[in-house]
Amino acid sequence: MAITRVVALCLVSFAFLVSVMEGVQVTITNNCDYTVWPGSQANQGSPQLSKTGFELASKKTESVDVPAAWSGKFWARTGCSNNNGVFSCATADCGNHVECGGAGEATPASLMEFTVDTNGDHDTYDVSNVDGFNIPSSITPQGGTGTCKIASCPANINAACPSDLQFKGSDGSVVGCKSACVQYGKPEYCCAAPDHNTPATCPPSNYSQFFSKQCPNAYSYAYDDNKGTFTCSKPTSYAIKLCP
């Protein structure tokens, strides 16, 4: 009797674990009128995804499976080309390869960040301009419960970027907008230790306020947590739209 109960309990727990640890699908749609090259990088302690970088033509969608208990980020490279066998991108390059293979992105880059299934009952996700901006984006969770709002930065911040933050391509056009932290590296902009690593000692700057005004539903600097972070319980997928 006791043993059957233990076995039954084990089966129930196993079924529960399997249902909890399903992971989630991320679909990336390129609504821009130009080709982009999405990339991803897992945070320390999470495995790299099966696809860490690929080309995505205008109006195309591609899906990536994200395992349970994963945290990491996506971004999109722009202006990539192959010159004499060397692949490189105008923005958000991850080191001369289409597949980023665990490498991170060059700044400035808009980030789409996820923590999936590691908080117990909910995921968190956000669009971040903390390392600057290079492309408009949004994240829409699908099939989950809870708040599950759209995280987004739909504005083209490149067009409004203050002159001292502009990041230009080889033809002189503004292809990215650096954050004040990226441009100036000052502890008060980067919320760095020892004097500025708390929300109270790292208030918004006039630069972060510029980003916040352009995109109120995205992180404008490191301690923008109240506005920037979104939560959702057990969505089946996340739709990332570039140029939403």
CA neighbor of 239 nearest in space, from 22, 24, 29: 29
Can you spell out the DSSP letters for 50-90? S-SB--B-TT-EEEEEE-SSEEEEEEEEEEEEEETTEEEEE
Q: Which of 114, 125, 167, 210 binds ligand NAG (CB under 6 A)?
A: 210
The answer to whether the beta carbons of residues 195 and 187 sit under 8 Å apart is yes
Q: Which two tokens stand for residue 11?
A: 């089966």
> Considering the rule CB under 6 A, would residue 207 count as an interface residue with ligand NAG?
yes
Q: Nearer to ligand NAG by C-beta: 102 or 204?
A: 204
- What residue number has its CB nearest to ligand NAG? 206
* Residue 133 vs 207, nearer CB to ligand NAG: 207
We find the least distance from the C-beta atom of residue 54 to ligand NAG, in angstroms, to be 35
125 vs 210 by CB, closer to ligand NAG = 210
Q: Is 203 in the site for ligand NAG (CB under 6 A)?
A: no
Q: Which of 143, 162, 169, 199 binds ligand NAG (CB under 6 A)?
A: 162
| Stretch binding ligand NAG (CB under 6 A), from 41-49, 67-75, 90-98, 205-213 | 205-213
Residue 48 CB neighbour total at 10 angstroms = 16
Stretches 38-46, 104-112, 138-146, 203-211: which one binds ligand NAG (CB under 6 A)?
A: 203-211
Helices (H), the chain: 2-20, 180-184, 187-190, 206-214, 225-228
- Under the binding rule (CB under 6 A), the answer on residue 221 touching ligand NAG is no
Asked if 138 and 149 touch (Cβ cutoff 8 Å), the reply is no
- Report the interface residues with ligand NAG, using CB under 6 A: 162, 206-207, 210
